[in-house]
Amino acid sequence: MLPVIAVTSGEPAGIGPELCLRLAGYAGDAQPVILGDRNLLEARAAQLGLNVTFRDFCPKNPVDRGILDVVHIPLAVPAQAGQLNPANGPYVLALLDRALAGCQSGEFAAMATAPVHKGVINDAGVHFTGHTEYLADKTATPLVVMMLAGDTERGPLRVALATTHLPLKDVSAAITADVLEKTLRILHADLRGKYGLAAPRILVAGLNPHAGEGGYLGMEEIEVITPVLEKLRAEGMQLAGPYPADTMFTPPILAQGDAVLAMYHDQGLTALKYATFGKGINVTLGLPIIRTSVDHGTALELAGTGKADPGSLFEAVAEAARMATRKQS
């Protein structure tokens, strides 16, 4: 039995639906099931000249390469490639709710998500800052950790974030000792449980240029970050840093760790996406379910052209399946 992975098709005007269509040719160790409007998927396949056979998902369906299993969730209004419509904001969230319910019930082993458009969901009157925060709220998880990962020439690169979708001016106040400690505990636990690393080595970035340069460029490293690292090292965690972020991503330092904890979004993800874009994935750590995602956005300018690269979605499905298999073993 291959793990069944729920794949949400994301923003209907973006590239998500056509990326999901490519999963009809998926040959990895998973059974992907697409959550979305079947009429939309069929129309997008016809638009792109793709010969895809669709089938309503049933848990008893045998795995059949070339057939795309679909859980039909209807659009609110018809969708056109590249043209956002706030009326479909609730539809996008309904995809996530259905995938989450299936993961919680055991119908699905994990979920992988195609990109959504935060702005159009907010335009629909729903406060939405991202998949990570939405799933945390829906599962009553007090703190989750966003981590992106991808393969490089030197091996896997994993970058977790102490803060996620915040304005830069709010980052320092958000990095408290309590939050940082809980973030490191979640990262450490999931590197062990979901990645099978018995004694994970974590590299921790400073917040300020030159990691504060002894307090001359900021006190967060001295007052918050270092005390937390010392406390957790005393418990046996392998934590190195805080490092200046501009040198932490050099090969000699990265070779000393299994994952990096960056203090804010662009500090960590600029380097990660430079090294792995198109093949990287997003993983939400700390949830009671397994969730992975692509590392890119809705790319409205590419929607309907057939030029979107499905590599990140393929890897998100594969990583979700690997995690689900480890969980079962």
Interval 289-310: pLDDT, tens: 999 999 899 999 999 999 999 9
Residue 32 corresponds to which amino acid?
P
| Burial class of residue 240 in the structure, from the number of CB atoms within 10 Å of its CB (0-12 exposed, 13-18 middle, 19+ buried) | middle
Angle in degrees, 0-180, between the axes of helices 131-138 and 89-105, rounded to the nearest 10: 50
- Evaluate whether the domain defined by 1-141+288-329 bears CATH number 3.40.718.10: yes
Q: What is the largest CA-CA distance in the chain?
A: 63
Instruction: Give the pLDDT confidence score for residue 329 in this predicted structure.
Output: 67
Within the chain, how many helices (H) and strands (E) appear? 13, 12
Q: What gap in Å lies between CA 239 and CA 232, rounded to an integer? A: 8
Q: What is the DSSP string of 202-267?
A: EEEE-SSGGGGGGGTT-SHIIIIIHHHHHHHHHTT-EEEEEEPHHHHTSHHHHTT-SEEEESSHHH
Q: pTM score, two decimals?
A: 0.91
Residue 290 corresponds to which amino acid?
I
pLDDT-flagged residues of the chain (< 70): 329
Give the side-chain half-sphere CA count within 13 A for 135.
29
Phi-psi region of 212 (alpha: psi -120 to 50; beta: other; left: phi over 0): left
The 10s digit of each residue's pLDDT in 57-69 is: 998 888 887 899 9
Q: What gap in Å lies between CA 56 and CA 58, rounded to an integer? A: 6
Listed by start position, the domains of the chain span 1-141+288-329, 142-286
Instruction: Give the pLDDT confidence score for residue 66 in this predicted structure.
Output: 81
Residues 6+ apart with CB under 8 A from 34: 7, 9, 20, 23, 41, 68, 69, 70, 71
The helix/strand/coil state of 194 is: coil
| Paired sense of beta strands 31-36 and 4-8, if any | parallel
Rg for the chain, CA atoms, rounded: 20
CATH class of 142-286: alpha beta
Residues 6+ apart with CB under 8 A from 294: 19, 113, 114, 115, 281, 282, 312, 313, 316
The 10s digit of each residue's pLDDT in 74-130 is: 999 999 999 999 999 999 999 999 999 999 999 999 999 999 999 999 999 999 988
Instruction: Give the pLDDT confidence score for residue 153 in this predicted structure.
Output: 84
* Neighbouring C-beta atoms of residue 306, cutoff 10 Å: 15
- Would 1-141+288-329 and 142-286 be classified into the same CATH topology? yes
